[in-house]
């Protein structure tokens, strides 16, 4: 009964999403206030029914209802409750339902935090989001119904893929989806702006917090995925340039460009059509990512749950949404124009250059990701594009971006003076150079590449502090430094923290690449091995039963300078249902270093093959991502996004102002 | 006129997208892990190579005459080979088909160590193809690749990329059983 309720809820949600698309969009166009008044209640109602469907599916998992085909395929009665819950999105159908749930949650978010937005814009934004809902709900109901029954019911489920039975994977997909789907809000704002023809600072200010929020979620989602791959796959690597990893990284790069472009449109009213194009691109890349993962057109470690029929549907939807919005862009954007002008040396020009570099990077990664497909489609045979290509294009492109990150925030808008920039940034450069010489020496030497990476990281971090000092000094008052710091707006702190995170990240990557040590050894009970000053004593392997697996747990005592440092217990698990062997690496971190041990295979006579790693600053990679996301969260809380925006000289393509709008509503801005 | 061309610029994103969508559409009908090999239905290339474990012993395709056998190209430097290795170990446990490995462009000691550290040796024989000449004859694009050869020495199936448990159960084992008759 419960699954049928879920199914019905989905159908009702589909009907509501059709209403949510039609009435607000047409109402906004024709100026029917009563049609636009449907915007909020319908969007919220849709969300209630999607949530109901999600609850019904979750119930089937928690109750071990294996008459539901999807639950029988992805769950098992022996699985711990946390994983039964996570298994709801462990396969294709459930993860698409989660997608839709998030889409409707973001939509509701827009309706709740819309006090500063005029009714007409809100109706258009929610209408566009409603259109996306229709697409995904149809997709779910037509090709991937999660509530399909299995008759007769299975005795027990087939279990969740053991790779996914991990705390990191419980929250990785939801965060990633929050990011992907969150960009739909920026997209909807862009489409609403293209329809109305009003693209101005106020529009950018509305989109900014939503875009930043989505970006912050995506950042954490990608970082968690990378962390999971790092300790679960047992290869000690943290990024593999796998097509599916790239699918999440592409919207991230474009989203980073969008955040900066929106800032310029907000502050200076320029970059208008460029911002619009980026907003469309970012969401298109999210959709493309979904297509690549779900259709199986590329070979990937994530290639589960693929089906050509689903692929055709997503491609069709992609064509309608992306093709339609780019056609709209081609039609309307020439009239929008780029916006105000600026000099060759100015913050605008640096942000534009940085933006172009990020876009080129995004293009290069996209090309590498789909090149095997293009090559094959042209009849030139199969091939794969691997890490060497991505490393060769990605790192050189990032160098100018990192350089500009130091200069841009300090340069003045409109026109900046080079001598002034030099005077301010020489300290940052000096700090970078000192770091580049001293830090590798502390590690006992290093290559030119390590020094260069350290120079860039030092430059980025030092320029953050130069920027803060600069801000404080430029305030003309005799208040204390603390008061002056407290007076800085949150979006400034957001930027500073996120840029600091990039510096930390670059330093982490550089040190891991430059100084990591690895040993693949055979160890007998009682054997010791020394690696980078740490001594590893192998104390044998014991059998440990888990709830739905059997584990072989290695006992390794690590000491440093004859003092005990850590007890590491890497595991090799065999899950009872799917009988896949899984590695669980054991990791011990200090602030600067990390010891990583993974268990290989028994090689006879109680001895095992063991993989030992010494990785300096590796945790800084994820800490850096954490700072980036924290920066995003700080920036979102800035007061300026919550204030009612007065539209100053709105740029109009069509004269339709004044025809509509519920004048009595307090939500209408003074000139809206 | 100049203005007309300037506004054409704005069609560029759409044009790029349409090209991309065209390739994606084409991609749907291609299966990246199934490559039609020109060798399917033809006689398997004959070779004789030293074995991985013993440089003085050799493996020759003539040893497999009259048997259905699996031919798997692997190397210690190949990350995807780690993914498929447990599937072959599982297959070897069932003990109904000979699995011949081709250790491809690898160092002898690396290959041997890799087997010890990755769950054991599922192979009946392992030929050591240091220069990758034999792999060229077999039309190998890259490791891993897996072939099924029938009793008459004809290649009946080719799989590119790692063999998963699912591939094993759904494609490879049924195919072998069918050929064994």
A454-496 residue pLDDT tens: 999 999 999 999 999 988 888 877 778 888 888 888 999 999 9
Same domain, A340 and A433: no
Token code pair at residue B108: 């002898």
Same domain, A129 and A60: yes
Residue A474 Cα distances to A186, A412, A460, A602, angstroms? 34, 13, 21, 66
Model confidence at A663, pLDDT cuts 50, 70, 90, reads: very low
Does A605 fall in a domain? yes
Alpha-carbon A46 to chain mean position: 25
Same domain, A497 and A607: no
Same domain, A307 and A396: yes
Does A656 fall in a domain? no
Interchain pair A330, B13: CB under 8 A: yes
Same domain, A602 and A498: no
B81-98 residue pLDDT tens: 888 888 899 899 888 899
Helices (H) and strands (E) in chain B, counts: 7, 7
Interchain pair B28, A297: CB under 8 A: yes
Same domain, A248 and A307: yes
A540-577 residue pLDDT tens: 899 888 888 888 899 999 998 888 888 999 998 888 77
Same domain, A146 and A175: no
Would you say residue A668 has pLDDT above 60? no
A196-234 residue pLDDT tens: 888 888 889 899 999 999 999 999 999 998 988 887 776
Does A556 fall in a domain? yes
Interchain pair B118, A296: CB under 8 A: no
Would you say residue A499 has pLDDT above 90? yes
Same domain, A198 and A336: yes
Interchain pair B28, A334: CB under 8 A: no
- Chain B partners within 8 Å of A326 (Cβ): 13-14, 17
Same domain, A323 and A450: no
Same domain, A508 and A626: yes
Range 537-556 of A in CB contact (< 8 A) with B: none
Q: Which of A383-392, A551-560, B35-44 has the highest mean pLDDT?
A: A551-560
Interchain pair A581, B24: CB under 8 A: no
Token code pair at residue A204: 């950018």
B11-26 residue pLDDT tens: 889 999 999 888 888 8
Does A657 fall in a domain? no
> Nearest chain B Cα to A325, which residue?
B14
Does A662 fall in a domain? no
Interchain pair A520, B117: CB under 8 A: yes
Q: CATH says B48-180 is which class?
A: alpha beta
**SS3 of residue A589 by DSSP:** strand
Identify the DSSP state of A164. G
Residue B7 Cα distances to A271, A475, B60, B86, angstroms? 16, 45, 67, 58
Q: What is the pLDDT of residue A234?
A: 66
Token code pair at residue B82: 């780690």
Q: What is the pLDDT of residue B148?
A: 93
DSSP letter string over A511-572? HHHHH-EEEEEEE-TT-EEEETTEEEEEEEEEEEE-SSEEEEEEEEEEEETTEEEEEE--EE
What would the mean pLDDT of B128-139 be, rounded to a whole number? 83
The number of distinct structural domains making up chain A is 4
Does A648 fall in a domain? no
Does A246 fall in a domain? yes
A284 touching B (Cβ < 8 Å): yes
Does A645 fall in a domain? no
Same domain, A363 and A257: yes
> How do the domains of chain B map onto residue ranges?
1-30, 48-180
A580 touching B (Cβ < 8 Å): yes
A148 touching B (Cβ < 8 Å): no
Q: What is the pLDDT of residue A654?
A: 38
Task: Look at residues A415, A445, A464 and tell me which one is the last residue of a structural domain.
Answer: A415
Distance from CA of B81 to the nearest CA of A (A): 12
Residue A167 Cα distances to A224, A228, A231, B142, angstroms? 10, 9, 12, 35
Residue A346 Cα distances to A223, A251, A339, A358, A408, angstroms? 33, 27, 15, 18, 8
Q: What is the pLDDT of residue A78?
A: 86
Same domain, A409 and A454: no
Choosing among A73, A287, A288, A330, which should be mutated to test the B contact, i.e. which has the most B CBs within 10 A? A330
State the residue range of the domain holding A69: 1-165
Interchain pair B14, A319: CB under 8 A: no
Task: Look at residues A415, A435, A458 and tell me which one is the last residue of a structural domain.
Answer: A415
ipTM exceeding 0.85? no
Which of these ranges, A49-53, A430-434, B30-34, has the smallest mean pLDDT? B30-34
């Amino acid at each position: 009964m419960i699954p049928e309720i879920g199914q019905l809820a989905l159908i009702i949600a589909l009907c509501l999403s059709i209403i949510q698309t039609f009435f607000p969009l047409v109402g906004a166009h024709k100026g029917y206030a009563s049609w636009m008044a449907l915007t909020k209640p319908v969007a919220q109602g849709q969300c209630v029914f999607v949530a109901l469907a999600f609850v019904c599916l979750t119930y089937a998992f928690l109750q071990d209802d294996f008459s539901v085909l999807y639950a029988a395929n992805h769950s098992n009665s022996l699985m711990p409750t946390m994983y039964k819950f996570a298994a709801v999105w462990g396969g294709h159908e459930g993860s698409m339902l989660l997608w839709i749930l998030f889409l409707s949650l973001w939509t509701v978010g827009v309706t709740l935090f819309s006090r500063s937005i005029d009714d007409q814009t809100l109706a258009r934004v929610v209408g566009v989001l409603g259109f996306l809902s229709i697409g995904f709900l149809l997709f779910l109901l037509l090709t991937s119904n999660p509530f399909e029954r299995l008759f007769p019911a299975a005795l027990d489920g087939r279990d969740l893929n053991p790779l996914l039975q991990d705390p990191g994977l419980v929250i990785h997909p939801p965060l990633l989806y929050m990011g992907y789907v969150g960009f739909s809000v920026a997209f909807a704002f862009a489409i609403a702006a293209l329809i109305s023809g009003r693209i101005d600072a106020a529009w950018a200010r509305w989109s900014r917090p939503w875009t930043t929020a989505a970006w912050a979620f995506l950042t954490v989602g990608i970082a968690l995925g990378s962390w999971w791959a790092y300790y679960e796959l047992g290869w000690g690597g943290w990024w593999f340039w796998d097509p599916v990893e790239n699918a999440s990284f592409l919207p991230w790069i474009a989203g980073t460009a969008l955040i900066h472009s929106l800032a310029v449109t907000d502050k200076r009213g320029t970059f208008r059509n460029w911002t619009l194009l980026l907003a469309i691109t970012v969401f298109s890349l999210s959709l493309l990512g979904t297509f690549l993962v779900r259709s199986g057109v590329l070979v990937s470690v994530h290639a589960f749950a693929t089906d050509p029929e689903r692929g055709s549907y997503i491609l069709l939807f992609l064509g309608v949404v992306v093709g339609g919005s780019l056609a709209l862009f081609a039609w309307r954007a020439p009239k929008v124009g780029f916006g105000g002008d600026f000099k060759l040396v100015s913050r605008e020009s640096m942000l534009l250059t940085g933006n172009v570099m990020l876009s080129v990077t995004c293009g290069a990664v996209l090309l590498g990701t789909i090149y095997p497909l293009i090559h094959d489609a042209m009849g030139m045979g199969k091939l794969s594009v691997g890490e060497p290509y991505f490393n060769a294009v990605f790192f050189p492109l990032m160098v100018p971006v990192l350089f500009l990150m130091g200069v841009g925030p300090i340069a003045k808008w409109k026109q900046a003076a080079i001598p002034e920039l030099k005077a301010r940034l020489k300290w940052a450069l000096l700090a970078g150079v000192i770091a580049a010489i001293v830090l590798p020496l502390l590690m006992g030497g290093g290559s030119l590449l390590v020094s260069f990476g350290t120079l860039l990281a030092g430059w980025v971090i030092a320029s953050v502090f130069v920027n803060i000092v600069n801000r404080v000094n430029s305030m003309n008052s005799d208040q204390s430094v603390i008061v002056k710091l407290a007076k800085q707006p949150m979006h400034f702190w957001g930027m500073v923290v996120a840029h600091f995170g990039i510096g930390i990240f670059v330093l982490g990557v550089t040190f891991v690449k430059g100084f990591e040590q690895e040993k693949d050894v055979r160890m007998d009970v009682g054997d010791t091995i020394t690696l980078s000053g740490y001594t590893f004593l192998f104390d044998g392997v014991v059998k440990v039963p888990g709830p739905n697996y059997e584990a072989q747990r290695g006992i390794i005592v690590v000491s440093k300078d004859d003092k005990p440092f850590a007890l590491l217990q890497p595991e090799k698990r065999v899950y009872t249902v799917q009988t896949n062997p899984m590695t669980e690496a054991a990791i011990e971190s200090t602030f600067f270093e990390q010891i990583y041990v993974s268990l290989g295979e028994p090689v006879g006579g109680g001895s095992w093959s063991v993989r030992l790693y010494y990785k300096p600053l590796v945790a800084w990679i994820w800490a850096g991502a954490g700072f980036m996301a924290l920066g995003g969260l700080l920036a979102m809380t800035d007061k300026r996004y919550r204030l009612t925006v007065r539209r100053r000289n709105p740029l109009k393509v069509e004269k339709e102002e004044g025809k509509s709008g519920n004048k009595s509503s307090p939500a209408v801005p003074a000139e809206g | 006129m100049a203005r007309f061309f300037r506004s054409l610029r704005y069609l560029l994103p759409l044009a790029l997208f349409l090209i991309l969508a065209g390739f994606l559409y084409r991609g749907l009908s291609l299966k990246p892990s199934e490559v039609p090999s020109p060798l399917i239905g033809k006689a398997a290339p004959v070779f004789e190579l030293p074995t991985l474990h013993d440089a003085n012993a050799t493996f020759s395709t003539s040893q497999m005459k009259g048997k259905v056998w699996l031919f798997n190209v692997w190397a210690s430097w190949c990350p995807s080979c780690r993914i498929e290795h447990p599937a072959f170990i599982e297959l070897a446990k069932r003990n109904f088909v000979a699995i011949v490995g081709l250790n491809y462009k690898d160092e002898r000691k690396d290959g041997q160590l890799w087997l010890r550290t990755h769950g054991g040796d599922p192979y009946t024989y392992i030929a050591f193809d240091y220069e990758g000449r034999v792999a060229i004859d077999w039309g190998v694009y890259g490791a891993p690749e897996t072939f099924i050869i029938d009793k008459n020495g004809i290649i009946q199936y080719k799989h590119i990329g790692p063999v998963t448990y699912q591939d094993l159960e759904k494609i490879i084992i049924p195919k072998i059983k069918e050929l064994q008759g």
